[in-house]
Structure 1
Amino acid sequence: MFLSDVLDQTIKKCKAQLANMLTLANLTLGGFAILFCLNDHLDLSLLLIFLAALADRFDGIVARKLNIETDLGKQLDSMSDIISFGVAPALLIYQGILSEFGAPGAFFTIFYIGCGAFRLARFNISENNGYFTGLPITAAGCLATLSFFAIPYIPAPFFLFMMIILSFSMISPFKLRKI
């Protein structure tokens, strides 16, 4: 009887942390994406950002399905998102093309990260009423990452303009219905 009680408690504890483990997988993949980007492995960085997006998608689903949503999980998710969909995509696009612009390229790379952090902070203190205010950082990060494929085909100024648009879209007041 004792062993089964211990096993039941262990399973409950693991189940309660499953969403956080997926969130930490998101953070880990984003962290590795940054490291690979810094070492000029941009294609691998791109792949890791998209894998982080999958982990991010499933952490929320698991938390809701298992009814284990917590304030800690919400904060951890935002901290992971700034790494995986703020810093990692910004660095990928900077390394891929924006570095050619010198100071403006660097400025708008950092501006994107700052807007993403602002967007996440605003999300964390707002009521979730079925809508997002501004473009979610996950969507902005995935769009920036996806644009990496177009670097050989589109003039470089497009990417500077795109980062500006994504930045302002994250902090804008427009509403998007959650899906």
Structure 2
Amino acid sequence: MKKYIPNALTLLNLFCGSIAVIFVLNDDFVTASLFVFLGIFFDFFDGFAARKLDVQSELGLQLDSLADMVTCGLVPGLIMYKLLALSDATWGHSEIDYANFDFSHINLLPLLGLFITLASAYRLAKFNLDEDQQTYFKGLPTPANALFIISLPLIMEFQNSDVINTIILNKWFLIITTLVSCYMLNSGIKLFALKFKDWRFKTNATRYIFIFLCALFIIVLQFAAIPIIIMTYIAMSVLDNVTTK
């Protein structure tokens, strides 16, 4: 019976991601983000449960990636699609004359956001074939990337800053963010994993410092802390790689 527990948690991740898709399509980014957070929570504990119960399996690995593809691949891609659409004042505000339809008048820019979904799929496929990524990641994990993307509408909703909103809805900012996101998902940069083999500070100094900084940033900056946390994660990983060498 215990072998089904991790897979049940993985399916809860997929369930949350599917619900998030529905809310994104209805422009409710806040509720969608809530279900992404829940999905990532289940994603963390399905692997934890599998290790603790000693029921890790190839089925669980594949199922985990399929669930992440929706929660951490499709949802952030759709959110970026919506943000890019919002960045263009003409998108979605004109009537379409199907009798004299002209493809040259279609704005394809928002579709760029779906490249995040494609890059996430490619990363997840590579991850399943790479046996080296047990104690570290190559490139930004899809949950971390998803958190970065979903933080953008949350910052606009809760930080209440016209300056920040103007930056986030600038199409060049969104284009660059999309391209950097796609690159980081599939880069060869080694990033530390938050997996503790023991609780000693000496062997987990980077992890403990990172967790402390995360708590500090969240207390001070609230939702604006999320992109800073992701950038800090990357910077600390690069620094850790240099000092290790």
Unaligned runs of 5+ in 2: 89-106, 157-161, 195-245
The 1:90/1:147 distance shift into structure 2, 3 A limit, reads same
Identity of aligned residues (%): 33
Higher RCO, 1 vs 2 (CA within 8 Å, ≥6 residues apart): 1
- 4+ aligned runs moved over 6 Å, structure 1: none
Contact 1:63 1:69 in 2 (8 A): yes
Say whether 1:98 aligns with 2:84: yes
* 2:8 alignment partner in structure 1: 21
Q: Distance in 2 between matches of 1:27 and 1:129?
A: 23
Equivalent position amino acid for 1:106 in 2 = L
- Larger radius of gyration between Structure 1 and Structure 2: 2
Structure 1 position 114, deviation (Å) = 0.8
Residues 111-166 of structure 1 deviation map (CA, whole Å, 9 limit, x = unaligned): 11111011000100011341211111111011111122234624223233212211
Report deviation, 1:94.
2.2
Q: Normalising by the residue count of structure 1, what TM-score does the alignment of the two structures yield?
A: 0.86
Q: 2:20 matched to 1:33?
A: yes
Q: Aligned ranges for residues 109-148 of structure 1 at < 5 Å?
A: 109-127=113-131, 128-148=133-153
Aligned partners of 2:127, 2:153: CA distance in 1, in Å? Answer: 27
Could you tell me how far 1:92 is from its partner in structure 2? 2.1
Q: Which position in structure 1 is the counterpart of 2:191?
A: 176
Structure whose residues are more often helix by fraction? 1
Maintained 8 Å contact 2:14/2:70: yes
Q: Which amino acid aligns with 1:26?
A: N
Q: Which moved more, 1:151-160 or 1:17-26?
A: 151-160
Q: CA RMSD in A?
A: 1.5
Q: Deviations over 1:58-110 (max 9, x none)?
A: 11111111111100000000000010011112212322x21135412212x12
- Structure 1: gaps of 5 or more residues: 1-12
